[in-house]
Amino acid sequence: MTERTDSFAFVRDLVTRWDVAAVIVVIGLIAFLGEASRGLFAPLAQLAATPLSLDPAFLPQYAARTTLRMFMALGVSLLFTLTYATWAAKSPRAEKLLVPLLDILQSVPILGFISVTVVFFMSLAPGRVLGAEFAAVFAIFTSQAWNMAFSFYQSLRTIPTELREAADSFHLSPWMRFWQLEVPFALPALVWNMMMSMSGGWFFVVASEAISVGHTTVALPGMGSYIALAIEQGNLRAIGWAISTMFIVILIYDQLLFRPLIAWVDRFRVEQDPSGRVPQSWAFTMLRRSRLIAAMTVLFRSAVRATNRLVTRRAPTARKIIARPNSRLDRVWFIAVVALVALGLWHIGAMLVAESSWQETGQVVVLALLTMLRVVVLIALASLVWVPIGIWVGLRPQVTQYVQPVAQFLAAFPANLLFPVAVYGIVTWKLNADLWLSPLMILGTQWYILFNVIAGASSMPAELRYVSQNFGVRGWLWWRKVALPSVLPFYVTGAITASGGSWNAAIVAELASWRDTQVQARGLGAYIAEATAAGDYHRIILGIATMSLFVVAINRLFWRPLYYYAERKFRLT
Residues of this chain that bind another protein (CB under 8 A): 1, 160, 162-163, 165-166, 168-173, 176, 180-181, 184, 187, 267-270, 272, 274, 305, 308-309, 313, 315-322
- Quote the CA–CA distance of 119 and 138 in Å, as a whole number: 12
> Please, which residue, 183 or 549, has the CB nearer to another protein?
183
CB of 170 to another protein, least distance (A): 4
CB of 206 to another protein, least distance (A): 39
Q: Are 190 and 152 in contact (CB under 8 A)?
A: yes
> Please, which residue, 57 or 322, has the CB nearer to another protein?
322
- Quote the CA–CA distance of 105 and 120 in Å, as a whole number: 19
User: What is the b/e burial string over 277-300, where b = at least 16 CB atoms within 10 angstroms of the residue's CB?
Assistant: eeeebebbebbebbbbbeeeeeee
> Please, which residue, 189 or 521, has the CB nearer to another protein?
189
CB of 26 to another protein, least distance (A): 25
Looking at the DSSP bridge assignments, the partners of residue 520 are 511
CB of 508 to another protein, least distance (A): 39
- Quote the CA–CA distance of 366 and 118 in Å, as a whole number: 29
> Please, which residue, 90 or 515, has the CB nearer to another protein?
90
> Please, which residue, 274 or 472, has the CB nearer to another protein?
274
CB of 519 to another protein, least distance (A): 48
CB of 568 to another protein, least distance (A): 10
CB of 178 to another protein, least distance (A): 13
CB of 5 to another protein, least distance (A): 13
CB of 191 to another protein, least distance (A): 13
- Give the E-state strand segments of 226-292 in sequence order: none
Burial class (CB in 10 A: 0-12, 13-18, 19+), 104: middle
> Please, which residue, 172 or 437, has the CB nearer to another protein?
172
> Please, which residue, 324 or 430, has the CB nearer to another protein?
324
**Amino acid occupying residue 320:** K
Give the dihedral sign, CA 565/566/572/573.
Answer: negative
Residue of 51, 240, 71, 44 lying closest to 144 (CA atoms): 71
- Quote the CA–CA distance of 265 and 279 in Å, as a whole number: 10
> Please, which residue, 2 or 217, has the CB nearer to another protein?
2
Other Cβ atoms less than 10 A from the Cβ of 64: the count is: 22
CB of 166 to another protein, least distance (A): 4
**Amino acid occupying residue 110:** I
> Please, which residue, 38 or 301, has the CB nearer to another protein?
301
Cα 396 to Cα 40, 404, 461, 479, 492: the distances in Å are 51, 11, 13, 16, 22
> Please, which residue, 187 or 526, has the CB nearer to another protein?
187
Angle at 370 between CA 490 and CA 561, to 5 degrees: 30
- Quote the CA–CA distance of 58 and 245 in Å, as a whole number: 11
CB of 284 to another protein, least distance (A): 15
- Quote the CA–CA distance of 210 and 227 in Å, as a whole number: 9
- Give the E-state strand segments of 223-343 in sequence order: none
> Please, which residue, 168 or 536, has the CB nearer to another protein?
168
Q: Are 438 and 426 in contact (CB under 8 A)?
A: no
Q: Are 413 and 448 in contact (CB under 8 A)?
A: no
R_g over Cα of the chain = 26
Helix and strand tally (H, E) in the chain? 31, 4
